[in-house]
Amino acid sequence: MADEDIEAGEGGGGGKKKLIIIIVAALLLFGGGGGAAFFLMSGGDSASQEDIVIEEPEPVSLQAIYVTLPQPFVFNVTGDMQQRLVQVKVQLMVRGDSNEVMAKQNLPLVEHSLLTTFGAATVEQLRTPQGQLEVRKQAVDTVQAAMEKVTGKTVVERVLFTGFVMQ
């Protein structure tokens, strides 16, 4: 009978040992997974983070600077059975000193882009405020595309009409 108790005790103890081994293995597995997740989330070692250079975009909070074009644009538009003469004074709104410098350095390109846009306008467009808004939007798109080709940045945020006369 003593032999039976010993065998029963060993059988029960073996089951407990297996359970403990399974629990320890699960804890190691979860602990290792959590450690790996922490390591990956923290970004790895600091040396590799120093090698990465991220250029942040200029914040929108930069002060608006207005670049006045030196001469008003004078051009003809066609429509309603006669040609009309139009004069537009323009200012460019940029943000930041670097964009102001780039806009001033590229004024001939800006003027060319604006003349191209204004030359495509019609009397019907320029008569209404909605049409003038469309022309301003086209002007912004044209100037931004031209500046991006040359400088890699759009530079100009808005094109403002500060004077507008149509005869």
Q: Which helix (H) or strand (E) holds 162?
A: strand 156-166
Phi, psi dihedrals of residue 147, rounded to the nearest 5° = -65, -35
Where do the structural domains in the chain lie, given as residue ranges? 2-51, 64-166
How far apart CA 123 and CA 84 sit, in angstroms, is: 7
SS3 state of residue 57: coil
Q: Could you read off the pLDDT of 37-92 as tens digits, one per residue?
A: 555 555 544 444 444 545 555 555 789 999 999 999 998 888 777 888 999 999 99
For residues 71 and 102, the answer to whether their CB atoms sit within 8 Å is no
Q: What is the pTM of this model?
A: 0.60
